[in-house]
Chain A
Amino acid sequence: MSVAETIGDENSLADAEPLLRVEGLKMHFPVTEGLFMRRTVGHVKAVDGVSFTIAPGETLGLVGESGCGKTTVGRCILRLENPGAGKVVFAGTDIAGMKASEISKLRQDVQVIFQDPFSSLNPRQKIGSIISEPLRVHGIIKDPTKRRERVAELLRICGLNPRFADRYPHEMSGGQRQRVGIARALSVNPKFIVCDEAVSALDVSIQAQVINLLEDLREQFNFSYLFIAHDLSVVRHICHRVAVMYLGKIAELADCDELFDNPRHPYTQALLSAVPVPDPTVEEARSHQILEGEVPSPMNPPSGCVFHPRCPQAIETCRREVPELQEFSPGHMVACPVVLGK
């Protein structure tokens, strides 16, 4: 994939009709107490008003630290959670109120690759059966012989030997299992794949193999990814646009290069400064902005801007008013009154 091609893609992406539109998505989980008389004592505001769009063929990165709600956003899109409020419109239909039969149909178009290649494959199922199950369940290929052929083809696409179909997951390494997870996601020809920390559990040399595979597949089949990750270097490598989440809200959303070259939100700036670069000379020259404190509890988030207790630039307004995600420059959205000059 040449650089020029990628840039060309991006320009056309901006005009395209979004494949997925998430609007004001909220997901609050009740916290209960008591053994017999269960009562709700509060809510964990895992996702608290998140909006974004993804165009066909586009990869949106969703980054943030643990507990910021990025995985819950992914699960809502897959309808593994029923969103509490807001809309998730996929290819023109709102998936929030879907019936079970419709959800099954949705999952032909929306697939997922999970983080842990060890717990996301059934240890008692052979690889061939794992990959062909979606084909069988959705009735895409009914003839078993043809199904086997398709499995072999999928394994080849993902860089595995077709003979692996007869193996069990424990006979494979982490990187190979992750390829099986990818082959399973590809089996139904999805339009959209949620990658939830898909490369985080892998060693660097294997991680690069899987990143390259994901990129090749995107080019070959033109699907969209929601790439959920905490590793900013990987996100920068693979994504077209990036949304930075903090405590259930999007702090900043922009084109990949714009976000990494000109981060505006104080949280994004601190996050980027915290990522070490594998080069001692660069590291010596960099100034490290160390954030004080820790992420507050999502059960009892701070008033106003959720980031204000840790923010080096916080002003009085931040304590009182919840900032809206607003356009700072074309395509670059920031939720920060200081940056937006208010």
Chain B
Amino acid sequence: MGFASKNRVTNPKFWEASGGWSLDSLLEITDLTTEFDTSDGVVRAVGGISYSVGVGEVVAIVGESGCGKSVGAMSILRLIPEPPGRIAKGQVLFEGRDLLKLSNAEIRDVRGRDIAMVFQEPMTSLNPVLSIGRQLTETLLRHTDMSESQAKDRALDLLRQVGISDPARRLTQYPHHLSGGMRQRAMIAMALCCEPKLIIADEPTTALDVTIQAQILELMKDLSERLGVAQLIITHNLGVVARYAKRVNVMYAGKIVEMGTAKEIYHHPRHPYTLGLLASVPRLDQPRGTILIPIEGQPPDLTRLDEGCAFRPRCRFATDRCAYEIPELESVAGDHMSACWQHEDLDQKKGTAA
């Protein structure tokens, strides 16, 4: 992780040439497993996931509620309440350092400085009794040598960068003075304050109206291109992913079932779950008569997973093998991976089963 790599990312020409890709990985997660003790037994919310995020890259994690996408992201910064939760095993390498092995003091230095987080609910994730200015400068004072007046100037500058009008007045205001979109902008400003290398955004636009969502997405996209900040975006909205991310990990029942570039995933899905998701979303650009093909059944109970593929009960392509052997992620073509025994001939079967 030298200077060279940073320059390459901030250099727009390199950005274009690599299609938003970077060869250096900033974050490398291997076999991350997070469990929770519940009265019904141990829930393995994240069941051994591995992926990486390159310098300046935008990666999305897609899945439905309860698939473990948020828990997986929180585990990176060790924000899982213990007990009942625990990170059972795995490795989270950030710039070569394993975040899971750091002491509590060391991880606190990473949080907010190297890796920042943007949460879904800007109302509950901002402190209601502290002014916006105080919350912005807090991070700066904690992580840098800035004086209070320097921190205030920086905070003003940040609010301006994220498009908040009248920033001087906003600094003295409290979260309840701001609208939902404004609060989310303030959250992003807060995430940006120490120039992090990675921003983890957990459903950053889910609570917002579409026109405001478009504003926020545009802002985040612009920031990642201009400042070269890598982003890990967690969402259930397939449209947001398509507009925004270069690479996609699809999660189901605590595992990554498919990963690849956004175009590969959307145009040639190689996992029945991805296929099902794409067929079940109504699209604005399709003729109105298009019939939605829902995925039948319900997501599984994570306390009662057996030794087979977790998607099997809802899968149109399931075979006997799926019942007793869990498929691992396998390369389909280059970096495009799928965890399905059928991935090779899913294309042909798609036509016959639909």
Q: What is A's interface to B at a CB cutoff of 8 Å?
A: 2-3, 6, 65-66, 173, 175-176, 203-209, 211-212, 230, 232-234, 236-237, 256-257, 260, 270-283, 288, 290-291, 294-295
B residues near A275, Cβ cutoff 8 Å: 210, 239, 284
**A233–B298 Cα gap in the complex (Å)?**
23
B349: interface (CB < 8 Å): no
Q: Assess whether B65 is in contact with A203, with CB atoms less than 8 Å apart.
A: yes
B residues apposed to A, CB below 8 Å: 64-65, 179, 181-182, 209-215, 217-218, 236-244, 262-263, 266-267, 276-278, 280-285, 287-290, 292-296, 298-299
A237's nearest neighbour on chain B, judged by CB, is B282
Q: A208-B292, A234-B282 are in contact. List 19 more A-B contacts (CB 8 A).
A: A65-B209, A204-B64, A205-B295, A208-B280, A209-B294, A209-B296, A232-B210, A233-B282, A260-B284, A271-B210, A274-B211, A275-B210, A276-B240, A277-B243, A277-B283, A278-B238, A280-B266, A281-B267, A282-B285
Please name the 5 residue pairs, one residue from A and one from B, whose CB atoms are nearest each other, closest first.
A276-B239, A3-B289, A208-B294, A208-B280, A278-B238
Q: A90 to nearest B CB, angstroms?
A: 28
B262 touches A280 (CB 8 A): yes
| A291 to B208 alpha-carbon distance, docked (Å) | 14
Interface residue from B181, B213, B266, B285 paired with A274 (Cβ < 8 Å)? B213
Query: Whole-angstrom distance from the CB of A114 to the nearest CB of chain B?
Result: 19
Which residues on B sit within 8 Å (CB–CB) of A212? Answer: 292, 294
Instruction: Give min CB distance, B211 to chain A, whole Å.
Output: 5
* Distance between B152 CB and nearest chain A CB, rounded to angstroms: 26
Query: When A173-B298, A203-B64, A288-B218 are in contact, do A230 and B210 touch as well, CB less than 8 Å?
Result: yes
**B281 CB to nearest chain A CB (Å):** 5
Tell me the smallest distance from the CB of A71 to a CB of chain B, in Å.
Answer: 14
Given contacts A280-B266, A288-B214, contact A175 B298 (CB under 8 A): yes
B330 vs chain A, min Cβ distance (A): 23
Closest-CB distance, B122 to chain A (whole angstroms): 14
Whether the Cβ atoms of A257 and B210 lie closer than 8 Å is: no
For the residues of A in contact with B, the DSSP-based class is helix
Residues of B within 8 A of A206 (CB): 64, 294, 298
- Contact present for A278 and B280 (CB under 8 Å): no
Q: Which residues of A contact B295 (CB under 8 A)?
A: 205, 208
| Chain B residues within 8 Å of A207, by CB | 280, 294
Asked whether, in the complex, the Cβ of B298 is within 8 Å of the Cβ of A236, the reply is no
Residue of B nearest to A256 (CB): B288
Contacts of A203 in B (CB 8 A): 64-65, 236, 299
Residues of B within 8 A of A6 (CB): 288-289
When the two chains form the complex, which single residue of A175, A205, A257, A291 contacts B288, counting CB atoms closer than 8 Å?
Answer: A257
Q: Which residues of A contact B298 (CB under 8 A)?
A: 173, 175-176, 206
Known A-B contacts A206-B294, A208-B294, A233-B284; A280 and B179 likewise in contact (beta carbons under 8 Å): no
**Given the complex, which residues of B lie within 8 Å of A65, measured CB to CB?**
209-212
Q: What residues of chain B lie closer than 8 Å to A295, measured between beta carbons?
A: 209
The answer to whether A233 and B288 touch (CB under 8 A), given A175-B298, A271-B210, A294-B212, is no
Instruction: Tell me the bound Cα distance from A65 to B213 in angstroms.
Output: 11
Would you give 27 A-B contacts (Cβ < 8 Å), ordered by A? A65-B210, A173-B298, A204-B236, A205-B64, A208-B295, A233-B284, A234-B282, A236-B288, A237-B282, A270-B211, A271-B210, A274-B213, A275-B239, A276-B242, A276-B244, A277-B242, A278-B283, A279-B242, A279-B267, A280-B266, A281-B266, A283-B239, A288-B218, A290-B211, A290-B215, A291-B211, A294-B212
- Chain B residues near A288: list those with CB within 8 A: 214, 218
Chain B nearest CB, measured from A300 CB (Å): 15
The complex places the Cα of A276 from the Cα of B278 at a distance, in Å, of: 14
Taken together as a complex, chains A and B put the C-alpha atoms of A305 and B267 apart, in Å, by: 43
Hey, which chain B residues are within 8 Å of A208, CB to CB? 280-282, 292-295
Instruction: Report yes or no: B281 in contact with A204, Cβ–Cβ below 8 A.
Output: yes
For residue B299, which residues in chain A have a CB less than 8 angstroms away from its CB?
Answer: 203
For A274, list chain B residues within 8 Å (CB): 210-211, 213-214
